[in-house]
DNA sequence: TACTCGCGTCTCACATACCGAGACGTCAAC
DNA sequence: GTTGACGTCTCGGTATGTGAGACGCGAGTA
């Protein structure tokens, strides 16, 4: 039975992290859970603490640290982009409009993936494009589930209100008509990370002439379904 | 500038993970990004891959792996433990008995937090202790809301029945008298995650002499209140 | 009050685990 | 066919990780 990676220190560090997966532990608890001698467990836990893979709680027990969350967010993004193309193509074909995926970056949103309607009048948003967080259904979705402080700060100056964002939370999707750009309507829904945070917004957008001034009834179902597919892709355990 | 944790291998492994934070990399890319010699970078990346902190994409490049997400999910549940201490102390003082918080782990329950009665005869359950899922009010609470398959599988061999668990669901709390340990009575109630799943059981336990053979009327209200407080703490959005 | 025990933290001689120069085979470009 | 870059592997050497034991502290007990 080969249970070593070939690097003993990393095997031991992985065992420390696995022990802390259940509950925060004192050094004595770590020793018991890992079977490592006390100085070894102490040294490795402190080294992992230095790199923020491990933290200390108020009573000094070791617990898993914030670096894990930072790195995990990246794995979510890789998987998100891997899954996005086919989901957006399907959404584009189902809706007949252009589809995009947005992430929030500071006080802007970035188009990180897109599938455009092939012919005629359409809303064209190139991958990499940075758009405002103060208008548009995707901005609403990226903001609606933020905490109250950040939500109110963000609404200040936006074309939508906190009441609109409460409606977004209740419905599970957002729409906009001529908000970000005259003549453009859109419908957006949230893609969530496994811990429930809103990670991205998936959108359908196009000219008001086709989407009408009330685009929700026609497009929301397909957009919510695409968002759910991406959310499910992020939740899959390897 | 001291930039070492004291364990060189962990410093190098952290550098590998940091390099992969930006984008998936070939081995050559890893060598460039970390400055490590090629065999060293290769060996560490493969060891991290063995432990699933690193994965390979379709073209063989190294990328951050799923273990990071698994561990990061746990850091979110630390909020439960952060809130538990004060709630358990309040419950202990209100009831005059020892209070504990249990999580389920496989086919055992782990005491993840506790506040003990200070003097005299008491039920002492140390943090980290693993107890049976086949007896006790906390086990009942951790099982009562499981789906039918898992509930029936778990009841097989337990001292309580499916009828007992149906009563727990109806009442919203469970009690036990001499079930897990002779002479010990307890009352437990469920702590729920934001999505409604039962995440933990909060319990009061002590000698039958004080709690009596019918501990519910005296203790259920305080236990249910403590469970509701923890449930509310988990529902707060960041 | 004194003693004991368990805790977290540190030391340092030593064994061995990690290291990396170099080798090897593969593949793509010229 | 040749060259160079790539990923993967070998193995002798030494730098690093190791852990028994020491230390100081605090809590509990007699």
Q: Which residues contact A216 (CB under 8 A, 6 or more apart)?
A: A171, A173, A175, A187
Nearest CA in chain B to A67: B72
**A5-19, B26-40, B53-67: lowest mean pLDDT where?**
B53-67
CA at A53, C1' at D19: how many angstroms apart? 24
> Could you tell me if A46 lies within 8 Å of chain B, comparing CB atoms?
yes
Query: Which domains, and CATH codes, for chain B?
Result: 8-73 (1.10.10.10), 77-235 (3.30.450.40)
pLDDT in tens, A172-192: 999 999 888 888 899 999 998
Q: Residue B199: is its pLDDT beyond 80? A: yes
Q: Residue B238: is its pLDDT beyond 70? A: no
Q: Which residues contact B172 (CB under 8 A, 6 or more apart)?
A: B189, B190, B224
The DSSP annotation for A175-212 comes to EEESSSSTTEEEEEEEEE-TTS-EEEEEEEEEEHHHH-
Determine whether the distance from the CB of A55 to the nearest atom of strand C is below 7 Å: no
Average pLDDT, chain B: 85
> Could you tell me if A166 lies within 8 Å of chain B, comparing CB atoms?
no
Higher pLDDT, B139 or A235: B139
Q: Which two tokens stand for residue B6?
A: 């004291």
At B78 the pLDDT is 60
> Could you tell me if A145 lies within 8 Å of chain B, comparing CB atoms?
yes
Q: Nearest CB to B5: which of A50, A68, A78?
A: A50
Q: Residue A238: is its pLDDT beyond 90? A: no
Average pLDDT, chain A: 86
Section B84-98 average pLDDT: 88
Q: Nearest CB to B64: which of A17, A51, A75?
A: A75
Higher pLDDT, A68 or A79: A68
Higher pLDDT, B236 or A100: A100
Residues 29-88 of B with CB under 7 A from strand C: 36-40, 43-44
> Could you tell me if B150 lies within 8 Å of chain A, comparing CB atoms?
no
Q: What percent of chain A has pLDDT above 90?
A: 42
Three-class DSSP labels, B40-51: HHHHHHHHHHHC
Q: Residue B39: is its pLDDT beyond 80? A: yes
Q: Residue A2: is its pLDDT beyond 60? A: no
pLDDT in tens, A8-59: 999 999 999 999 987 888 999 999 889 899 999 999 999 999 999 998 877 7
Q: Which two tokens stand for residue A83?
A: 């899954």
At A78 the pLDDT is 67
Maximum average pLDDT range among A224-238, B34-48, B107-121, B221-235: B34-48
At A59 the pLDDT is 76
**Helix or strand holding residue B64 (H, E):** strand B62-64
At B1 the pLDDT is 38
CA distance A116 to chain B (A): 26
């Amino acid at each position: 039975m080969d249970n070593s990676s070939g690097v003993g220190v990393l095997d031991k560090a992985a065992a420390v992290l696995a022990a802390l997966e259940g509950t925060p532990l004192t050094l004595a608890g770590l020793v018991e859970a890992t079977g490592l001698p006390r100085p070894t467990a102490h040294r490795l836990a402190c080294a992992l603490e230095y790199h923020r893979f491990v933290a200390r709680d108020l009573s000094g027990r070791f617990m898993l640290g914030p670096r894990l969350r930072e790195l995990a967010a990246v794995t979510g993004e890789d998987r998100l982009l891997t899954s996005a193309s086919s989901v957006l193509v399907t959404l584009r074909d189902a809706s007949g409009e252009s589809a995009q995926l947005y992430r929030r970056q500071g006080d802007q949103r970035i188009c990180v993936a897109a599938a455009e309607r092939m012919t005629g009048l359409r809303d064209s948003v190139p991958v990499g494009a940075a758009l405002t967080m103060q208008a548009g259904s995707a901005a609403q979705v990226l903001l609606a589930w933020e905490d109250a402080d950040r939500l109110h700060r963000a609404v200040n100056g936006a074309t939508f209100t906190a009441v609109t964002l409460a409606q977004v939370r209740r419905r599970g999707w957002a729409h906009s008509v001529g908000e970000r750009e005259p003549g453009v309507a859109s419908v957006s829904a949230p893609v969530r990370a496994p811990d429930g945070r809103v990670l991205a917004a998936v959108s359908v957008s196009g000219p008001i002439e086709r989407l009408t001034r009330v685009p929700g009834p026609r497009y929301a179902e397909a957009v919510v379904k695409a968002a759910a597919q991406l959310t499910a892709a992020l939740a899959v355990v390897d």
